[in-house]
Amino acid sequence: MAIRTSRESDETLDESHEINVTPFIDVMLVLLIIFMVAAPLATVDVPVELPASSAKPQPRDAEPLFLTVQADLSLRLGEEIVTATALGTALDRRTQGDHAQRIFLRADRSVAYGDLMQTMNALRRAGYLKVALVGVEQAP
């Protein structure tokens, strides 16, 4: 800044062609602090109980095919006991090889999430990608 003390036209102020980046740096630092504080809050682990659902029940198929994982990790296809290795052939036999048919997966509450994922991976390896998880309806 300069103060003009005389009215002579010879003493005109020189134009400054520099960009003032101080406000830009201030804004960027504030945004950095906000993101540094907010990022850890977005990844907080929250314990959840998954078996109950308040979603509207979907219409069932004419003959739904249920795969049940019991507390002892044994598998039942309908009422038939199957092993994890024979799951693919048992499913092909029940669905006549229709891999587009939806499989309703039920699991006991005490089954660990990792064990349930192993069953879902076995379904994927067998070629059955349409899997619906079955839960207990929660009262409103």
* Residue range(s) defining the domain that contains residue 81: 65-134
Residue 57 inside a domain? The answer is no
Residues 33, 22: Cα–Cα separation, whole Å: 17
In a domain, 106, yes or no: yes
For residue 3, tell me if it sits in a domain: no
Question: Does residue 114 sit within a domain?
Answer: yes
Pick the closest to residue 95 from 105, 107, 103 (CA basis). Answer: 103
In a domain, 105, yes or no: yes
Whether 18 maps to a domain, the answer reads no
The CATH number for 95's domain is: 3.30.420.270
- What's the pTM value of the predicted model, to 2 decimals? 0.55
CA 15 to CA 2: how far, in whole Å? 11
* Tens digits of pLDDT across the chain (140 residues): 556 565 555 566 677 778 788 888 999 999 999 888 887 766 544 444 455 566 666 666 667 888 888 888 888 888 888 888 888 899 888 888 888 888 888 888 888 889 989 999 999 998 888 888 887 766 65
How many folded domains does the chain comprise? 1
Report if residue 1 sits inside a domain: no
Q: Are strands 103-107 and 65-69 parallel, antiparallel or unpaired?
A: parallel
Return the structure tokens found at 48: 């959840």
At residue 131, the 3 state secondary structure works out as: strand
Residue 116 located in a structural domain: yes
Q: What is the C-alpha separation between 115 and 84, in angstroms, rounded?
A: 11
